[in-house]
Structure 1
Amino acid sequence: MKKLKALLINGSPRAKGCTYTALTELKNTLEQEGMEVELIHVGHKDVHGCIACRKCKEIGKCVFDDIVNEVAPKFNEADAFVIGAPVYYASPAGGAIAFLDRLFFSTANVDKTMKVGAAVTTCRRGGNTASYDVLNKYFSISSMPIATSQYWNMVYGGQAEEVLQDKEGLQTMRTLGRNIAFMAKSIALGKEQFGLPEKEQITFTNFHH
């Protein structure tokens, strides 16, 4: 079996903060499980929100030529994709959402079926579960199986040093890493033996009279 790839996205404005600390624990575990891992920081970039111009359908990439278009080919090649984001006002940081909106919209032509997806959230006190739910929606609309852990994929702390004290949170990241690796390997074997699920032509309805 070829070496499987995991793409980890740091959606925090801070390069080495709480989100990075959680994703690093996850990265180390994925590598121990034999996966090739790339961790990319996008949260500090000036990422324009999606304007639904649908130009990407014509040109094959987002009309805003920035980090989204740089990451898109890596997303296409990855067997697993993880988005990490801190909580701002009980939701994921705005830069992470803008990035995901455009990444998923502009790669609509990329078949994401059975690409493992996982969300990781970090907060000082509240909003983790609400943010976790938001991030998982991107996977559940894309035929991407969602990787979970022994607890929701989250850590607590106001700064990186505090996250390192969250022993349960770090263990959750390690369990998540082992689960992602197992799922990706199992899906790869399934593709070889059975192929991907049969697809119907997508039907769109608007529910108007």
Structure 2
Amino acid sequence: MNVLAVNCSPRKDGNTYILLNEVLKPIQEKGINTEIFQIGGKKIRGCIACMKCRKEGDGRCHQKNDVINECIARMELADAIIIGSPVYFADLSGDAKAFIDVSGYALRGKGNLLRRKIGAGVIAVRRAGAIHAFDSINHFFLINEMIIPGSSYWNIAIGREKGEVLKDEEGIKTMRVLGENIAWLMEKLSGKT
């Protein structure tokens, strides 16, 4: 079993990365393979509706989006996908939006490859917009017929400077419960329990 966490923050080791690691800890304790893939801050392009991914049907973006295509290949192999984003102007980071648009369109062009995989969103926020960003990620999961596990609260934690999210005790607890629930659901879906 494999979990892919996608970090859509340009701050490679910032608060979003910290939160993704907190989610992955209980999953790793169950012996499940995990990986964090860095999208944020890389050279990526948003979808331009060229339709080549639909015509080719190969699950790839054809406008030189190598980083996203590499992540798409990993998404196909993953049993669970966690997308993490900081909040910028009350919504996802631009990198997160580009990633969702491109990967969603390319993967749907190859058939619904994400169907019945587990999907969870994780949001790092300073003040406002977390629920809107969380909702945007969940829209991606829902349109792809993915299974979204819950946690003890919305999957958000508050902090601006690197590491400040660790002071948000409720946010960190929420991440760990989310990780426990993902691991439990993965085991149930695989028939191991």
SS at match of 2:191: helix
Does the aligned pair in 2 maintain the 1:114–1:187 contact within 8 Å? no
Structure 2 unmatched ranges of 5 or more: none
Q: TM-score, normalised by structure 1?
A: 0.86
Does residue 45 of structure 2 align to residue 48 of structure 1? yes
Alignment match, 1:181:
183
Any idea what the Cα deviations from partners look like across 1:145-186, whole Å, max 9, x if unmatched? 112200000110002321111111111100000101111221
Gaps of 5+ in 1: 191-209
Separation (CA, whole Å) in 2 of partners of 1:90 and 1:25: 23
Matches within 5 A, 1:1-209: 4-59=1-56, 60=58, 61-65=60-64, 66-108=66-108, 109=110, 110-189=112-191
In 2, the alpha carbon distance for the partners of 1:67 and 1:129 equals: 27
Cα deviation, 1:35-77, whole Å, max 9, x if unaligned, reads 1000011101121110111101233121123111111111001
Give the greater-gyration-radius structure (CA): 1
Whether the aligned pair in 2 keeps the contact of 1:115 and 1:184 (CA below 8 Å) is no
Percent identity of equivalent pairs: 38
| Contact map agreement 1:17 1:160 (CA 8 A) in 2 | yes
Higher relative contact order (CA 8 A, sep 6+): 2
Moved over 6 A (4+): none
CA contact (8 A) 2:84 2:123 kept: yes
C-alpha deviation, 1:27, in angstroms:
1.6
Q: TM-score, normalised by structure 2?
A: 0.93
